[in-house]
Amino acid sequence: RAKHKKGEWLGIHGGRIVAVARNMEGAVTNLLNASIEKNDEVLTIFTGDDPRLREPSALDFIMTAFPGLDVEIKKGGQSVYPLIMSLE
């Protein structure tokens, strides 16, 4: 299990913490690196109420880091998790 400190971003996959980082970009990148399988083609992201995600370009780094994925971003509106992601 990954250790984390207050204020760090966590990436959870299969009920386990698989990524810990100081920022969203690091946590998301590490989470996807740990989660993507060979046949995955589509990443759907549901954004929560986090104000940092209101900027349209806030998640552009994902398309740059994972050019082989078709990324769909939808407003989920969840209050607890800033991002919920699904790979297909």
Query: Is residue 63 assigned to a domain?
Result: yes
Query: Is residue 4 assigned to a domain?
Result: no
This prediction has a pTM of 0.88
Query: Is residue 49 assigned to a domain?
Result: yes
Domain range for 48 is 9-87
Instruction: Give the distance between the most distant pair of CA atoms in the chain.
Output: 35
* Gyration radius from the chain CA atoms: 12
Q: How many domains does the chain have?
A: 1
Query: Is residue 18 assigned to a domain?
Result: yes
Query: Is residue 52 assigned to a domain?
Result: yes
Sign of the alpha-carbon dihedral angle for 44, 8, 15, 64: positive
Task: Please report, in tens digits, the pLDDT of each residue of the chain (88 residues total).
Answer: 567 889 999 999 999 999 999 999 999 999 999 999 999 999 999 999 988 888 878 999 999 999 999 999 999 999 999 999 999 9
